[in-house]
Amino acid sequence: MSAIEAPARALAWLGRQGTRAITAIVFVGIAVPPVGALLKPFVTEAIFVLLCIAFLRVDTAALRSHVERPGLVLCATAWTMLAIPALFGAVCLAAGLDTRSPDLFLALMLQAVASPMMAAPALAALIGLDATLVLVALIASTTLIPFTAPFLVHAFVGPVLTLAPLALGLKLLAILAGSALVAFAVRRIVGVEAIEHRKAEINGLNVLVLFVFVTAVMENVAAEFLAAPALTIGLAALAFLVFFAVLGLSALLFARAGHDRALALGLMASQRNMGLMLAATGGVLPDLVWLYFALSQFPIYLSPQLMAPLASRLRVRPQASLSRTPLSGGR
């Protein structure tokens, strides 16, 4: 029994570290590049497991309550999965980025067509925002991506992406459907109560799997910075600019829904699941795309710390919201 309890306790301890552990992962990935090189071939598998964990923790009762009033969710989904990619594409084409820097154009378009991160509800809860709304909109957006991503990639990127649009859609559908099936099978076998009871351990497993993905994409950040500091700093600045531009536009668009919900939807829209696109393309992408994706993790994983002051100014009460979200496990 002790042989089982020791790893479980270690996972629970890791899971309780929350955003501190996730922030530490980013810097470990930068400081120890060989770890990223070792884990890079397993990015697709890591994304699959992360999706399994996310589906494993879905609260079906909370989902049904939001589905009964789908207007806001449908608008948020259309904005996230159709309007934002179209806006990205139009701006990039107007700037001539497709010819001036095809690799950067590819990176931005893959970011734009991606669905929101599966960790977005948990990060929203940490800030004190409406995590349930984020979760429902996230699932709706993720369901659409096998259909929207191939069409939008083909429309804007064309032959730059080596993977055919139909193959991209089928692979995304396989990843999403497969992870959902595995998760719901586990839920049925183990039971929802047992899953909730092991929340800390599941959080720890989530951190470990995130370690695979984050260290893989961070592998070349230090080397690239030393080799081309201006390029690396420029791409990092662009990543932060894109993050806050999408967040700000989204929050303004949904301002009538209330500051709390608008900020929550803005956070969701700005946190794109670029890992899913890496998994869908098999990781066979130009080095600049990998570098931009890696640098884009900084605003994503620093967002709880960056957004907390704004949430506080809007008089959002983190503890109250945290106790309401189905992902928080609050008492």
pLDDT single digits (tens) 198-236: 888 888 888 888 888 788 877 778 888 888 899 999 999
Query: Averaged over 60-83, what is the pLDDT?
Result: 85
Q: What is the pLDDT of residue 4?
A: 66
* Buried b / exposed e along 14-41 (16+ C-beta atoms within 10 A): bbeeebebbbebbeebbeebebbeebbe
Residue 146 reports pLDDT greater than 60: yes
Residue 183 reports pLDDT greater than 70: yes
Cα–Cα distances in angstroms (integers) from residue 46 to residues 39, 65, 318, in the given order: 9, 31, 30
Residue 230 CB neighbours (<10 A): 8
Q: What is the DSSP string of 173-223?
A: HHHHHHHHHHHHHHHHHH-HHHHHHTHHHHHHHHHHHHHHHHHHHTTTHHH
Element (H, E) at 232: helix 229-253
Average pLDDT over the chain, rounded to whole?
81
Q: What is the pLDDT of residue 94?
A: 94
Residue 175 reports pLDDT greater than 50: yes
Query: Averaged over 6-12, what is the pLDDT?
Result: 82
Between CA 1 and CA 5 the distance in angstroms is 6
pLDDT above 90 as % of the chain = 25
pLDDT tens digit string along 88-134? 999 999 999 988 998 999 999 999 999 898 778 877 776 777 777 88
- Cβ proximity of 298 and 236 under 8 Å: yes
Between CA 224 and CA 30 the distance in angstroms is 10
Query: Averaged over 50-72, what is the pLDDT?
Result: 78
Element (H, E) at 64: helix 60-67
Q: Which domains does the chain have, with CATH numbers?
A: 14-324 (1.20.1530.20)
| pTM greater than the 0.85 cutoff | no
Q: What is the pLDDT of residue 321?
A: 40
